[in-house]
Chains A and B, each alone.
Chain A
Amino acid sequence: MTAECEGVAEARFLAAADRQRLIDALMDAGHEVHGPVVRDGVIRYEPITTIEELPRGWRDEQQPGRYRLQRQDDERLFAWAAPAHSLKPHVFAPRETLFTARRDTEGRLTFETAEPEAPRIAILGARACDLAGLFLQDKHFLHGPHADAAYRARRRNLFLIAVHCTHPAATCFCAATGDGPVARYGYDLAIGEIDAGWLLTARSEAGVAMLARLPVQEADEEQRQAADAAFTAATRAQTRRLPEGDLPARLAALAESPAWAEVAERCLACGNCTAVCPSCFCHAHVEETDLDGGRSRRLRQWDSCFTAGHSLLHGRPVRADIASRYRQWLTHKLAGWHEQYDRSGCSGCGRCITWCPEGIDLLAEATAVLETAE
């Protein structure tokens, strides 16, 4: 019977009153703890030291082009969906130095690799969609022929505490991509939240060791079923669906669909979708020079395929219009990733829909493109 309770089948129970103990244990073990907090009108990951900083009683409302927080009078800490940003900034830094070049008075150059900043961070409350996003980033930055040293250093120092989703937003579709709402892989510890506290499951050795430091008890059947019922409801609440069939082949055949020009009428090419996407990995190399000219740094910073500069070749963009840029983004996400990394580049977090100022919905656009085939 317990085996049906996916995500909490072997969970231990931590009472609500003892939740601070997890943060204390993480800090004792040398981790800087980053958890969700309400700031600037959104829920986002920030360094925390107490459980009081978490968004107790907060709910989010996410719609195409809309994100709002509302308060409810309860003890739930994770009763909201995807936070404003994914785990991407924790591993793929928005801006960092690649190397420093120095020029002496004779004009000779020396180059020095930048030491990556890689603090030991524990993330409290990683969502299943974002763990899938991390898996996608790993595929790109770690598992190719040229593993990225800075990414690897930060990735190795992450301790991940997942939280199974119970309150998906209207923009969520992790159930459709198969990535959530229950986290199945890629974490050290996972939390199933119920009113009385947390059902904790360890997946890694580090997670088992952490669990041993907490005043946990056997979870009873009623608790497990309460959690399981919430996960089932979270799956059923999601109504968005990915288009079916062989998307790489179907989209490749529709590169000249008139639907691309139609979405380009609404798309502002602002790049919000690529910034919030947990899998987008493009970055630009830029130069920053000291005023005295003796030292120059090569940096990389997040870039977006929606800019003209992204495809610049001999001074002109290969993708000169928004239609070709939107096509590049969407077909890479839903098709190119399959060929590159054996799975879709989308984990169903819905952020590109929420944070698009025009409320453009990639699923609706993909469907519109596919319908032009008929």
Chain B
Amino acid sequence: MSTALPMEAEVLARREESPGLFTLQLRLTDPAAQAAYAFRPGQFNMLYLYGVGEVPISIVSDPREETLIEHTIRAVGRVTRGLERLAPGDRLGLRGPFGNGWPLGDCEQRDVIVVTGGLGCAPVTGAIHYLMKRRERFGHVNIVQGVKHSADLIWREQYECWARMPDTTVLIAADEAEPLWPWHVGRVTDLFDRLHFDPAQTIVLSCGPEGMMIAVAEQLQAKGIPPERIWLSLERNMQCGIGLCGHCQFGARFVCRDGPVFRWRDVASRLKIRGL
């Protein structure tokens, strides 16, 4: 782990997921640093593009994969548009991992509901890999992903693969859909009657637009899941990654250090107020 000084990383591969959305496969160039690098699903790295700047990006690779680190990135700003142009062999800097990650230990012996929206699926992917590889330790796993338009869905094969796993339900919704879209047209919350879970022993992991997460948390709480077992991954401007620069303050918490994953119980009142 490196908090202050970036480590050099090399781009091994670059994959276009959809227009403006790409995945970089990275490896730390110092073999000892790569060997020592370990993260928990839900954590993020600060990626440094030489001469341009740094951005916080969640880690999507499987934590058991020791030889590479994967990031799926949307090109929206100066740094991410520069990262989009990187090719295999190019170098960048990497600090991390930062943040707390998903409470995977608390998922054991419980039904799990993962609800994500848009690129919110990225920070949870590592967690789903973790669940699937230790399938017997968890109850029913429900995976719900929502997108604005059916064309925005990435990792379709991955969802189809998870859908074939035992005791697993995969549900996908698009606000707008092309003809022949096999899944739901509408909101993710429309699909909640099709989830398989026992509210008394269920845990929820959610990541996506705040409005979506609020609706998800409120409706699942109404179905009997206690607010301390509904976990949301929040996003704010983050520059240092270690709770010093102040940009990600959310009430008394630093999202980069105390989060990004929080219990709905602890953030519900603030999350509903605009501009906090």
CB A267 to nearest CB in B, in angstroms, measures 14
Chain B hits for A110, CB < 8 A? 8
CB B68 to nearest CB in A, in angstroms, measures 18
Please, what's the 1-or-0 string for A243-257, where 1 marks a CB less than 8 Å from any CB in chain B? 000000000100110
Number of A-B contacts (CB under 8 A): 123
Given contacts A101-B50, A332-B249, A336-B249, contact A109 B275 (CB under 8 A): no
A313–B235 contact, CB under 8 A?
Answer: yes
Chain B hits for A281, CB < 8 A? 244, 246
Which A287-338 residues sit within 8 Å CB-CB of chain B?
A: 287, 289, 293, 296, 298, 300, 303, 305, 310-315, 318-321, 323-324, 327-328, 332, 336, 338
Chain A hits for B240, CB < 8 A? 285, 300
| In the complex, B204 has a CB within 8 A of chain A | no
A-contacting 9-mer, from B51-59, B104-112, B189-197: B51-59
Given contacts A287-B53, A310-B237, A312-B237, contact A107 B91 (CB under 8 A): yes
- A313–B55 Cα gap in the complex (Å)? 11
Interchain CB contact (< 8 A) of A303 among B5, B48, B246, B251 = B246
Chain A hits for B5, CB < 8 A? 99, 111-113
Please, what's the 1-or-0 string for B60-93, where 1 marks a CB less than 8 Å from any CB in chain A? 0000000000000000110000000000011111
CB A64 to nearest CB in B, in angstroms, measures 26
B239–A328 contact, CB under 8 A?
Answer: no
Partner-A contacts on B (CB < 8 A): 3-8, 29, 48, 50-54, 76-77, 89-93, 235-237, 239-240, 242-247, 249, 251-252, 257, 269-270, 273-276
B275–A256 contact, CB under 8 A?
Answer: no
Report, nearest first, the 8 A-B pairs whose CB atoms are least far apart: A324-B275, A339-B252, A282-B246, A146-B242, A285-B239, A289-B51, A296-B51, A336-B252
Q: Which residue of B lies closest to A285 (CB)?
A: B239
B-contacting 9-mer, from A5-13, A137-145, A154-162: A137-145
Q: Which residue of B lies closest to A293 (CB)?
A: B51
B244–A310 contact, CB under 8 A?
Answer: no
- A312–B76 Cα gap in the complex (Å)? 12
Interchain CB contact (< 8 A) of A98 among B4, B237, B246 = B4
Chain B hits for A108, CB < 8 A? 8, 29, 91
Interchain CB contact (< 8 A) of A339 among B4, B243, B251 = B251
CB B9 to nearest CB in A, in angstroms, measures 9
5 contacts across the A-B interface (CB closer than 8 A)? A111-B6, A255-B273, A296-B50, A312-B237, A340-B252
B237–A318 contact, CB under 8 A?
Answer: yes
Interchain CB contact (< 8 A) of A336 among B239, B251, B274 = B251
- A101–B51 Cα gap in the complex (Å)? 8
Chain A hits for B270, CB < 8 A? 255
CB A264 to nearest CB in B, in angstroms, measures 11
Chain A hits for B53, CB < 8 A? 285-287
CB A229 to nearest CB in B, in angstroms, measures 41
Partner-B contacts on A (CB < 8 A): 98-99, 101, 103, 107-113, 140-141, 144-146, 148-149, 252, 255-256, 281-287, 289, 293, 296, 298, 300, 303, 305, 310-315, 318-321, 323-324, 327-328, 332, 336, 338-340
Interchain CB contact (< 8 A) of B50 among A103, A313, A340 = A103
CB A359 to nearest CB in B, in angstroms, measures 25
Chain A hits for B269, CB < 8 A? 252
A319–B275 contact, CB under 8 A?
Answer: yes
Interchain CB contact (< 8 A) of A107 among B4, B90, B244 = B90
- A107–B29 Cα gap in the complex (Å)? 13
- A321–B275 Cα gap in the complex (Å)? 8
Chain A hits for B54, CB < 8 A? 285, 298
CB B42 to nearest CB in A, in angstroms, measures 18
B275–A318 contact, CB under 8 A?
Answer: yes
A255–B276 contact, CB under 8 A?
Answer: yes
Since A283-B246, A285-B240, A327-B275 are in contact, a sample of 19 more A-B pairs with Cβ atoms closer than 8 Å, ordered by chain A residue number, is A99-B4, A99-B6, A101-B48, A107-B90, A111-B6, A111-B93, A141-B244, A146-B244, A282-B247, A284-B239, A285-B239, A285-B245, A303-B247, A305-B246, A318-B236, A324-B274, A324-B275, A336-B249, A336-B251
Q: Which one of B54, B243, B275 has the highest number of Cβ atoms from chain A below 10 Å of its Cβ? A: B275
Given contacts A101-B48, A103-B50, A328-B276, contact A310 B247 (CB under 8 A): yes
CB B73 to nearest CB in A, in angstroms, measures 12
- A300–B244 Cα gap in the complex (Å)? 11
Q: Which residue of B lies closest to A311 (CB)?
A: B237
B257–A145 contact, CB under 8 A?
Answer: yes
- A103–B91 Cα gap in the complex (Å)? 9
Chain B hits for A300, CB < 8 A? 240, 245
Chain A hits for B29, CB < 8 A? 108
CB A160 to nearest CB in B, in angstroms, measures 23
Q: Which residue of A lies closest to B273 (CB)?
A: A255
Chain A hits for B251, CB < 8 A? 252, 336, 339
B93–A101 contact, CB under 8 A?
Answer: yes
CB B80 to nearest CB in A, in angstroms, measures 10
Chain B hits for A310, CB < 8 A? 237, 247
Chain A hits for B50, CB < 8 A? 101, 103, 109, 296
